[in-house]
Amino acid sequence: MLNQKHSQPADIEKTSMAIIEAELQEKGIVLPEENAAVVKRVIHTTADFEYVENLYFSKGAVKMTAKALKENAVIVTDTNMAKAGISKVALQKLDGAVYCFMADDEVAAKAKETGSTRAAASMEKSAELYPAAVFAVGNAPTALLKLCELMENGLRPALVIGVPVGFVNVVDSKERLIEICEKYSVPVIVARGRKGGSNIAAAVCNALLYTAADMLDPVARGW
């Protein structure tokens, strides 16, 4: 029998989060308070508790990014799927915006000219236009590697979210990202290993936006 009790979006989310918290307690897992909203949002998105172990946070990443989003809420993604999944209500409250240049004609031409991927070229364009943005990569390891190159040349984003999914260059690009971000004191959140995806990129962004906009309670989002 389906439980018909929970039918409103806010109630469904609150109940889901309560279940997640209860299961974490059953497993004896205590999340660091600063990172808890991000980890629980990713679990809520995936129903996968392994993200407790594979989500890596540089020191103070969530706190610093929430502060940065209050001042300049600009997010760049490597997929339109992630862009679509990022909360427009939270962005509106913060007077922010989200961009994806994967379908941009200039990006396509640059990728063809240089023999690179659109993802890499889109990061170059994004860095030129919004160097202090949050860069959320959920699909392309080449985007992470380009960001590493750009950081070596002076780029300092508010945060890099490295959560591409897959098998080719995925693990290595994430580890390289951690190395470079730590080297230059750039906040970073990474889903280590093969797991990730555009939905994870959006989930991490939303947790950060909700934190910055005081909207962790779904009622505050008008639900």
Q: How many residues does the chain have?
A: 223
Max CA distance (Å), the chain: 59
State the DSSP code for 13: H
Is residue 149 within 8 A of residue 172, CB to CB? The reply is no
Among residues 44, 70, 125, 176, the one annotated as catalytic is 44
- Angstrom CA distances, 204 to 36, 40, 126, 162, 178, stand at 11, 10, 19, 10, 17
Is residue 50 within 8 A of residue 29, CB to CB? The reply is no
Is residue 187 within 8 A of residue 58, CB to CB? The reply is yes
Nearest CA among 165, 221, 186, 206 for reference residue 40: 206
- Give me the residues paired with residue 55 across strands: 191
Is residue 221 within 8 A of residue 204, CB to CB? The reply is no
| 6 among known catalytic residues | no
Nearest CA among 218, 201, 215 for reference residue 98: 201
Catalytic residues: 44
